[in-house]
């Protein structure tokens, strides 16, 4: 019997934001302007002492106050930060949940100190790893555990493996099952926290640091330590594998290039660090906005960092942001900027779900194909490297060395160009999809508003619909603007591609060295094959993504129709499907209980009909208002031609049904129903066919 997998329970949670103010350093000149009040509020005093009394009473002060989940003053240790803001979510990692902790703040504000710490004041990375292994020790008898660790850095928009001695550039991959992954990143099996700390120290020694005017050992890169915990329950059937992940992120400082007085390479670092941090800030902005406005586009694709942090920011993760600040008055602007972003981040919601079990066959087939393509790409790269080393080792052809190093630079730029093009195209298509949903919702809202106005229905409801319409219009405008920017970037990318092509063509026409030409043409062939493979992989990713989306929509529809696990099991059985994880056949007692619950709920709420005819009394206990009688789950489930009824239509039908029958449904319950209809729309576009 074919089987599909049941969805795990999702819990919506907001991002926890904690602020940590470091002590004023000895050599730091200036005044301490930060006050932490009752472990939650942060007060930033006006750095300008010359403000007179009049300025202050006329509210011209630059004093600012913010409130967070937690706030820690200079006297707080890392252990205190850990205990109050993180320790409660770490156990989730050994229970199959994802946890992300990241430190955000300007240069020298104490991010690395907070994440890594010192011997006397161990940081959050060290403390959380000890907790993970202590928890594993406790459950070792009943369950099997496998812990792996990876450590990477994003430097100048290039990903490096910090656990490799001389790591090459690594590429990001969008894995439909695991989300964003880094191809070729070393994952080392570990048995103790000490081993990870050893790896962490080794990785940290490889991290790119520079001395800037603000911090003598300023981290120039964003570092991500990921601990993955697989837990297999020994004596349980079916054998479930829980897969939890802990991502600990130490971001680079968000200083501006001119403030650190840097030049050359350092300036480039600054620009790229800021590109990533700017992208992060934009994502935080968009995510904050999304909580209020729905369907706003979140530009994760604008940097490597935001792509890596995508899950931690809005996906399947419990996330803590530690905003680090300096108490010094000269850092006022950085401090206020950091706190502004931290304040916005409080609005972000994530949806935590246990990562259970093995992938279904369909997806794993695709995964295998993608893996083999990936292996092929690696093989191509290896072959190319071999050819290059053969060429440079022949003394007679030493003259080609300079050209080879030139070729290396060009090849790297071509590869980046291709990656960027794929990324931009994907961003465009995601943006278009978001706007397609926006436009169809707009169309439906227009229809309903017109119908409401024609029959002069409740003015308050029309106002509500018009307000929603304005929000959607606003989203469309923002998304269109983002689309224009992406289009410009695509054009610039295309222009760069032509330039690179021109450079190679010119070199080929000028150069008389036969072997070099051979290598060059070989390279170009391999390069093209590589790009084609990457495009193919991107397309396959899309196919898998669509399938997962359809599956998700199917669950949303079933849940939205008010079906519970047993009814879904029943429907699936009729179609010859089993659902993994939902194996129970409801006992008679349970059915009776459920049936009485349903009967009692009928008098208080209006819900969709299950449409289940078999299973007898269960089906007749469901409320069946006229508005839902057109929804026939049995029919659409069996036939791919049928659509799910537009929830706005249901809403309109419901309101007219209520008013025609003199029902006592209040306008607030109508608005509540509208909100739930919207949720269905957002989760499952109604144009989708199954």
Ligand X SMILES: Nc1ncnc2c1ncn2[C@@H]1O[C@H](COP(=O)(O)OP(=O)(O)OP(=O)(O)O)[C@@H](O)[C@H]1O
Q: Applying CB under 6 A, which residues contact ligand X?
A: 22-23, 25, 105, 107-113, 215, 218-219, 252-253, 324
Full DSSP string of 631-689: --HHHHHH-TTPPPPPHHHHHHHHHHHHHHTT----HHHHHHHHHHHHHHHHHS-TT--
Q: In angstroms, what is the minimal distance from the CB of 108 to ligand X? A: 4
The set of residues, in sequence order, having a beta carbon less than 8 Å from that of 64 and lying 6+ positions away, is 43, 44, 336, 339
Nearer to ligand X, 200 or 558 (CB): 200
Measured at the CA of 684, the angle between CA 461 and CA 603, to 5 degrees, comes to 55
Nearer to ligand X, 21 or 97 (CB): 21
Contact 204, 288 (CB under 8 A): no
Nearer to ligand X, 112 or 319 (CB): 112
Q: In angstroms, what is the minimal distance from the CB of 124 to ligand X? A: 12
Q: In angstroms, what is the minimal distance from the CB of 197 to ligand X? A: 17
d(CA 240, CA 418): 40
Q: In angstroms, what is the minimal distance from the CB of 531 to ligand X? A: 36
d(CA 630, CA 537): 41
Nearer to ligand X, 20 or 468 (CB): 20
**Is 110 marked within a binding site?**
yes
Strand residue runs (E) in 499-565: none
**Is 107 marked within a binding site?**
yes
Nearer to ligand X, 112 or 434 (CB): 112
Q: In angstroms, what is the minimal distance from the CB of 396 to ligand X? A: 49
Contact 421, 493 (CB under 8 A): yes
Of all residues in this chain, which one has the CB nearest to ligand X in the complex? 253
Nearer to ligand X, 6 or 328 (CB): 328
Nearer to ligand X, 341 or 637 (CB): 341
Q: In angstroms, what is the minimal distance from the CB of 113 to ligand X? A: 3
Q: In angstroms, what is the minimal distance from the CB of 179 to ligand X? A: 27
**Is 39 marked within a binding site?**
no
Buried b (16+ CB within 10 A) or exposed e, 61-81: eeebebebbbbbbeebebbbb
Helix axes 124-139, 78-85, angle to 10 degrees: 50
Q: In angstroms, what is the minimal distance from the CB of 139 to ligand X? A: 34
CA dihedral of 287, 288, 289, 291, whole degrees rounded to 10 = 90
Q: 49: burial class by Cβ within 10 Å (0-12, 13-18, 19+)?
A: exposed
> What is the C-alpha R_g of the chain?
29
Q: Closest Cα partner for 421 from 476, 500, 343?
A: 500
Full DSSP string of 159-221: EEETTSTT---BEEEEETTTEEEEET---EEESSHHHHHHHHHHHHHHS-EE--SS-TTEE-S
Contact 619, 610 (CB under 8 A): yes
Contact 175, 367 (CB under 8 A): yes
Nearer to ligand X, 25 or 398 (CB): 25
Relative to beta strand 349-353, strand 10-14 is antiparallel
The torsion angles phi and psi of 495, rounded to 5 degrees, stand at -60, -45
Nearer to ligand X, 81 or 136 (CB): 81
DSSP 7: P
Nearer to ligand X, 22 or 206 (CB): 22
Q: In angstroms, what is the minimal distance from the CB of 219 to ligand X? A: 3
Q: Closest Cα partner for 370 from 616, 524, 544, 587?
A: 544
Between the alpha carbon of residue 596 and those of residues 276, 404, 589, 616, the distances in Å are 55, 78, 11, 14
Nearer to ligand X, 212 or 479 (CB): 212
**Is 112 marked within a binding site?**
yes
Q: In angstroms, what is the minimal distance from the CB of 214 to ligand X? A: 7
**Is 111 marked within a binding site?**
yes
**Is 109 marked within a binding site?**
yes
Q: In angstroms, what is the minimal distance from the CB of 312 to ligand X? A: 19
* Residue ranges at the known binding site for ATP: 105-112
């Amino acid at each position: 019997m074919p089987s599909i997998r049941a969805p795990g329970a999702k819990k919506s949670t907001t991002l926890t934001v904690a602020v940590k103010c470091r002590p004023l350093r000895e050599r730091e000149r200036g005044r301490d302007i930060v006050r932490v009040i009752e472990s939650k509020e942060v007060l930033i005093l006006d750095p300008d002492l010359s403000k007179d009394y009049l300025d202050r009473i006329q509210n011209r002060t630059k004093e600012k106050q913010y409130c967070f989940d937690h706030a820690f003053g200079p006297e707080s240790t890392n252990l205190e930060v850990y205990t109050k803001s993180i320790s409660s979510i770490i156990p989730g990692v050994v229970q199959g949940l994802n946890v992300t902790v990241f430190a955000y703040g300007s240069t020298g504000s104490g991010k690395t100190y907070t994440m890594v710490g010192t011997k006397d004041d161990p940081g959050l990375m060290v403390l959380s790893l000890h907790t993970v292994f202590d928890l594993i020790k406790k459950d070792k008898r009943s369950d099997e555990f496998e812990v792996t660790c990876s450590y990477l850095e994003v430097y100048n928009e290039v990903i490096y493996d910090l656990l490799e001695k001389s790591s090459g550039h690594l590429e990001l991959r969008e894995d439909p099952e695991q989300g964003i992954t880094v191809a070729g990143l070393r994952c080392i099996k570990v048995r103790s926290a000490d081993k990870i700390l050893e790896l962490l120290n080794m990785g940290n020694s490889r991290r790119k640091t520079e001395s800037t005017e603000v911090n003598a050992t300023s981290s120039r890169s964003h570092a991500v330590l990921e601990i993955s915990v697989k837990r297999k329950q020994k004596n349980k059937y079916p054998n479930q594998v829980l897969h939890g992940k802990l991502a600990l992120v130490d971001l680079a400082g968000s200083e501006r290039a001119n403030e650190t007085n840097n030049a050359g390479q350092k300036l480039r670092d600054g620009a790229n660090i800021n590109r990533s941090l700017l992208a992060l800030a934009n994502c935080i902005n968009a995510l904050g906005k999304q909580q209020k406005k729905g369907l706003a586009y979140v530009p994760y694709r604008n940097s490597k960092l935001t792509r890596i942090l995508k899950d931690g920011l809005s996906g399947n993760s419990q996330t803590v942001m530690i905003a680090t600040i300096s108490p010094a008055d000269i850092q006022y602007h950085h401090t206020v900027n950091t706190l502004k972003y931290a304040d916005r981040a409080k609005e972000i919601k994530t949806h935590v779900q246990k990562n259970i079990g093995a992938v279904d066959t369909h997806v794993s087939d695709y995964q295998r194909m993608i893996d083999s393509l990936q292996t092929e790409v690696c093989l191509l790269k290896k072959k190319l490297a071999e050819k290059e080393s053969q060429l440079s080792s022949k003394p007679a052809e030493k003259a080609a060395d300079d050209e080879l190093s030139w070729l290396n630079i060009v090849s790297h730029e071509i590869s980046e160009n291709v990656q960027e093009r794929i990324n931009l195209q994907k961003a465009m298509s995601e943006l278009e999809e978001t706007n397609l949903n926006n436009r169809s919702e707009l169309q439906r809202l227009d229809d309903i508003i017109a119908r409401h106005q024609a029959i002069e229905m409740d003015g308050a409801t029309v106002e509500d619909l018009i307000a929603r319409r304005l929000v959607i219009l606003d989203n469309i405008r923002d998304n269109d603007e983002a689309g224009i920017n992406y289009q410009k970037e695509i054009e610039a990318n295309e222009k760069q591609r032509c330039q690179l092509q021109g450079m190679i063509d010119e070199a080929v026409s000028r150069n008389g060295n036969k072997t070099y030409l051979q290598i060059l043409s070989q390279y170009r062939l391999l390069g093209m094959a590589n790009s084609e493979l990457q495009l193919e992989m991107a397309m396959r990713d899309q196919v898998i993504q669509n399938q997962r989306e359809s599956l998700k929509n199917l669950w949303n529809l079933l849940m939205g129709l008010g079906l519970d696990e047993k009814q879904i099991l029943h429907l699936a059985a009729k179609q010859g499907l089993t659902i993994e994880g939902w194996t129970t056949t409801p006992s008679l007692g349970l059915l009776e209980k459920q049936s009485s619950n349903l009967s009692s709920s009928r008098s208080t709420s209006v819900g969709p009909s299950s449409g289940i005819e078999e299973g007898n009394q269960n089906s007749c206990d469901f409320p069946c208002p006229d508005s839902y009688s057109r929804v026939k789950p049995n029919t659409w489930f069996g036939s791919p031609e049928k659509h799910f009824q537009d929830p706005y239509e249901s809403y309109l039908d419901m309101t007219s049904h209520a008013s025609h029958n003199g029902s006592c449904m209040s306008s607030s319950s109508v608005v509540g129903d509208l909100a739930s209809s919207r949720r269905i729309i957002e989760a499952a576009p109604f144009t989708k066919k199954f």
